[in-house]
Amino acid sequence: GQNIDQPTEMTATEGAIVQINCTYQTSGFNGLFWYQQHAGEAPTFLSYNVLDGLEEKGRFSSFLSRSKGYSYLLLKELQMKDSASYLCAVRGGGATNKLIFGTGTLLAVQP
Amino acid sequence: NAGVMQNPRHLVRRRGQEARLRCSPMKGHSHVYWYRQLPEEGLKFMVYLQKENIIDESGMPKERFSAEFPKEGPSILRIQQVVRGDSAAYFCASSTGTGVHEQYFGPGTRLTVT
């Protein structure tokens, strides 16, 4: 079966660092994506990992361990505008490019 | 460079009517994906298309739903005889045919069935 787990909600303080975890069990693996989605808006692409290790992109970093079926998204220097849902998605193996999404983590950044 | 465009942004239909949702991919993108997001739920894959071909429709309900991506024009997601349970946000995404294939999402169509 296909299963992607993320915490439902998290709260953090402006200026701080937060780590959002994602574990997955999927039939096949061809990359893991993180998206940000503000309420009522489209998801926007944040990062992509296909090999083990850390990918850094400005205030955002994403880590992958394929052997553990585990990823995290790290957000540094939190800003109020970072309050959003963060979606973990896995692309399965084979010819399809479809993404399997977790239910998302709603992050609230407080002053 | 225009992003993924979807129309209409909001659509209201009575039970039993047909809904047609349109998606124009980003310039240079030849792959289109449709996802559905129910209230308080995650995005669920529906169908993956390339021009004139359905590549993967494993997420499409067996009845009433169909999708196409013709040689010319936008991709269309068609829902016949809508029911209240079809009320959701329908997102279209597109990607190139090479490399990472990251998918860029459109603003979505919010379908309400009354």
CA distance A60 to chain B (A): 17
Q: Is the pLDDT of residue B5 over 90?
A: yes
Contact A104 B42 (CB under 8 A): yes
C-beta separation of A55 from A49 below 8 A: yes
pLDDT of residue B15: 97
The answer to whether B25 contacts chain A (CB < 8 Å) is no
Phi, psi of B109 (to 5 degrees): -120, 125
What does the pLDDT look like over A2-11, one tens digit per residue?
889 999 999 9
pLDDT at B73: 92
Q: Give the model's pLDDT for residue A15.
A: 97
Q: Which pLDDT tens digit goes with each residue over A11-60?
A: 999 999 999 999 999 888 889 999 999 998 999 999 999 999 999 989 99
Report pLDDT for A77: 97
Q: What is the mean pLDDT of residues B45-54?
A: 94
pLDDT in tens, B64-84: 999 999 999 999 999 999 999
The 3-state secondary structure of A22-75, one letter per residue: EEEECCCCCCEEEEEECCCCCCEEEEEECCCEEEEECCEEEEEECCCCEEEEEE
* Predicted pLDDT of residue A92: 80
Predicted pLDDT of residue A1: 66
Give the torsion through C-alpha atoms of A15, A43, A5, A28, to 10 deg. Answer: -130
Give the pLDDT band of residue B1 (cuts 50, 70, 90). Answer: low
Across the interface, which of A50, A87, A100 has its CB nearest the CB of B45? Answer: A100
| Cα–chain center distance at A30 | 15
Which pLDDT score, from 0 to 100, does residue A2 have? 80
* Predicted pLDDT of residue B45: 95
What percent of chain B has pLDDT above 90? 82
Nearest-CB residue to B43 (from A41, A48, A87) = A87
A74-92 pLDDT, tens per residue? 999 999 999 999 999 999 8
Contact A43 B43 (CB under 8 A): yes
- pLDDT over 90 (residue B100): no
